[in-house]
């Protein structure tokens, strides 16, 4: 067994004299339903050269967009054969001889999207990775580049919010929704969540309130609720929609004058319908957000690093917890 002190200095040449790595990956060569097109494939990986980094994947989530990518229903079209997955946390095993910023044993997350992370091991390029502290939990690190960053950008980029303001969202138990609640609590913003009814609704409401939701209402409850009319909470200036259809219409009805509804997902697969009254009389605006686009446009910007490493993890009350079931 290799000792850690030795491991931290190891490079690809030293590594290759000792062992090579066989990666087990979930690959697909055509679009379709994941259970039909994904295959477990073994590949012997080449030793990392130049600026390449060999990593062992420690955890990799399944996001709705990963499924849509495999189905061919997502704007990102991978080259075949493709490895599924877009996010992970990995441990550096060894590095090519031109790599300056990484060493064996460090934890890293992908800075680039579409790398293919549903695999045991991979060779990535140095500039596709970002080091994360080992103090960050594996679940939090593995899910840090898509959902919490989406929540963070949507809260920052559309409306200038102040403590005491209110944000409303549907799909409030989604991974993005959970991050929204936590960031709102850290920033003193009221977070109203709308969820679908279910037998264990009381437990779900309690879980979301523990994360930071101010109020959690079912789709039926929000229609009759007077939390805004009564003045208990300020009318929302910002709303998030990941569902579409009637749910989006209902959310938009609660916006204050000049409020903005940001659509970032379409889980119901129904179009966003706009109620005419609020559009005319309150001049509400409908916007869209796509993290992949934002990340490409801001690949090396300081805000990008702030998203993943800075404010997001150290903000106010503490870290953003990984998604709860």
DSSP secondary structure letter of residue 3: -
Q: Using CB under 6 A, which of 291, 308, 312, 320 touches ligand NAP?
A: 291
Give start and end residues of each alpha helix (H) in the chain: 4-7, 12-16, 34-37, 64-71, 138-142, 147-157, 175-187, 201-211, 219-224, 245-253, 276-281, 291-297, 302-309, 311-314
72 dihedral zone (left: phi>0; alpha: psi -120 to 50; beta)? left
Q: CA-CA distance, 325 to 37, in Å (whole number)? A: 27
Q: Using CB under 6 A, which of 116, 265, 278, 322 touches ligand NAP?
A: 265
74 is catalytic: yes
Residue nearest to ligand NAP (CB): 265
Binding mask 190-209 for ligand NAP (x = CB under 6 A): ------x-------------
Q: Using CB under 6 A, which of 86, 106, 145, 173 touches ligand NAP?
A: 173
Does residue number 34 form part of the binding site for ligand NAP (CB under 6 A)? no
Instruction: Scan for tokens 């870290």, then name that residue.
Output: 319
List the interface residues with ligand NAP, window 102-141 (CB under 6 A): none
Instruction: Scan for tokens 């140095």, then name that residue.
Output: 126
Does residue number 145 form part of the binding site for ligand NAP (CB under 6 A)? no
Q: Using CB under 6 A, which of 109, 243, 261, 312 touches ligand NAP?
A: 243
Q: CA-CA distance, 69 to 75, in Å (whole number)? A: 8
Residues with active-site annotation: 74
Residues of this chain that bind ligand NAP (CB under 6 A): 63-65, 146-147, 150, 171, 173-176, 196, 242-243, 264-265, 267-268, 289-291, 323
């Amino acid at each position: 067994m290799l000792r850690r002190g030795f491991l931290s200095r190891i490079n690809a040449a030293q590594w290759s004299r000792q062992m090579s790595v066989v990666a087990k990956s979930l690959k697909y060569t055509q679009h379709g339903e994941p259970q039909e097109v994904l295959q477990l494939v073994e590949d012997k990986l080449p030793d990392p050269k130049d600026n390449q980094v060999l990593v062992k994947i420690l955890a990799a989530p399944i996001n709705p967009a990963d499924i849509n990518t495999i189905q061919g229903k997502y704007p990102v079209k991978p080259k075949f054969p493709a490895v599924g997955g877009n996010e992970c946390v990995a441990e550096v095993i060894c590095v090519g001889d031109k790599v300056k910023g990484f060493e064996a044993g460090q934890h890293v997350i992908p800075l680039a999207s579409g790398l293919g992370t549903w695999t045991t091991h991979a060779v990535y390029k140095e500039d596709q990775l970002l080091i994360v502290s080992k103090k960050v939990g594996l679940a939090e690190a593995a899910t840090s580049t898509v959902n919490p960053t989406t929540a963070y950008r949507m809260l920052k980029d559309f409306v200038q919010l102040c403590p005491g303001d209110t944000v409303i969202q549907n799909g409030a138990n989604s991974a993005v929704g959970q991050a929204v609640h936590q960031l709102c609590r850290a920033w003193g913003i009221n977070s109203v969540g709308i969820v679908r009814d279910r037998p264990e609704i009381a437990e779900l409401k309690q879980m979301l309130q523990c994360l930071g939701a101010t109020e959690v209402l079912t789709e039926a409850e929000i229609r009759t609720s007077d939390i805004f009319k009564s003045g208990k909470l300020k009318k929302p200036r910002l709303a998030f929609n990941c569902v579409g259809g009637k749910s989006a219409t209902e959310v938009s009805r609660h916006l204050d004058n000049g409020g903005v509804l940001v659509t970032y997902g379409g889980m119901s697969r129904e179009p966003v319908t706009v109620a005419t009254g609020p559009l005319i009389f309150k001049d509400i605006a409908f916007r869209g957000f796509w993290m992949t686009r934002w990340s490409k446009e801001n690949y090396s910007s300081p805000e990008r690093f702030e998203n993943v490493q800075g404010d997001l993890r150290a903000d106010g009350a503490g870290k953003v917890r990984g998604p709860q079931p």
